[in-house]
Structure 1
Amino acid sequence: MKLKIINQLTDNQIEDLCYLYTTTWWAKERKLIDVQRMLKNTDIIVALCDPSNHQLLGFSRILTDYVYRALLLDVIIRDNYRQQGLGKILMEAIVSHPDLQEIEALILFCQSDVIPFYEKWGFFGKSDKLEIMIRP
């Protein structure tokens, strides 16, 4: 399968992203207008598309200060393309992204069942010094 790594989404791909969100437990309620606003305020997008029809197959976004921290969010592969190595391709594109080479730490949140997947790229589990805190 041929893939193209992209850093911007077309209007059709933004609609594809909204579909991808509906397949997740954490983002299934996201609305198009909010996703458009989110994308305008995202520092880095790393996504995969099918070059023949430009359909969005994988997506991730990164918020960063480009020095100390980068937060990796919304790592998603289209449901009917999972288990085909696209997650690996997406993660390789993320960790090798030129704008992320100088940062001290790339951070992500994930469920325990996918920890082994992210460990392949040097991520490690819970720190004994830090706790995740959320203010809804």
Structure 2
Amino acid sequence: MFTVIHQLTSAQVEQLHQMYLQEWWSNKRALADVSPLLANSDLLFGLWDEEAQRLAGFCRVLTDWVYRAIVFDVIVAADYRGQGLGAKLIEHVTTHPRIAQVECIQLFCTPEMQPFYEKHGFGQAEQLLMVRPCEVRSRE
């Protein structure tokens, strides 16, 4: 059984960091950056395994509460995958009372994850994504 949590303890922050280190898209994140990352997010969704005392999954949302919300960092610990936890996270985000009222919920995903998100009502954007590259900063 998993409990949805909206704040992380320092031990849970460390567990999240360990999850980040296992993924290609987040493996350069420093532990020192995780707490400010969380503090500057509008909503946090963690899936807490009470029995194992472990963070099993996580995502976060930035939003203006009216027109746009963007979901970041959807992540499930490797040994918890295949149990529908990613779907639970997305369901909790999209049914959150304040997010459900937002005009548009956005996220970025890799091509192989597209079918997963399409099952949850997301579609490919019509607009062109523009990115201003930033220098990768080294944190040690």
What's 1:73 paired with?
72
Distance 1:87 1:132 in 2: 27
The 8 Å contact of residues 44 and 63 in structure 1, kept in 2 or not, is answered as: yes
- Identical residues among aligned pairs (%): 41
Give the match's secondary structure for 1:98: coil
Deviations 1:30-64 (A, max 9, x none): 11111111111110001101122431000000000
Structure 1 stretches of 4+ moved >4 Å: none
What's 2:62 paired with?
63
How many residue pairs match? The answer is: 134
Computed over aligned residues only, the root mean square deviation of the Cα atoms, in angstroms, reads 1.1
Give the match's secondary structure for 2:18: helix
The 8 Å contact of residues 58 and 87 in structure 1, kept in 2 or not, is answered as: yes
Give the match's secondary structure for 2:56: strand
Structure 1 residues 103-112 or 53-62, which shifts more?
A: 53-62
Give the match's secondary structure for 2:90: helix
Q: Verify: 1:103 aligned to 2:138, yes or no.
A: no
Structure 2: gaps (5+ residues): 135-140
Structure 1 residues 82-91 or 100-109, which shifts more?
A: 82-91
Distance 1:49 1:134 in 2: 35
TM score, norm. by length of structure 1: 0.93
Structure 1 residues 33-44: aligned runs within 5 Å: 33-44=32-43
Distance 1:12 1:45 in 2: 16
TM score, norm. by length of structure 2: 0.91
The 8 Å contact of residues 13 and 54 in structure 1, kept in 2 or not, is answered as: no
Distance 1:73 1:57 in 2: 16
Q: Verify: 1:87 aligned to 2:48, yes or no.
A: no
Distance 2:124 2:117 in 1: 9
Structure 1: gaps (5+ residues): none
AA aligned opposite 2:131: M
Distance 1:120 1:26 in 2: 23
What's 2:45 paired with?
46
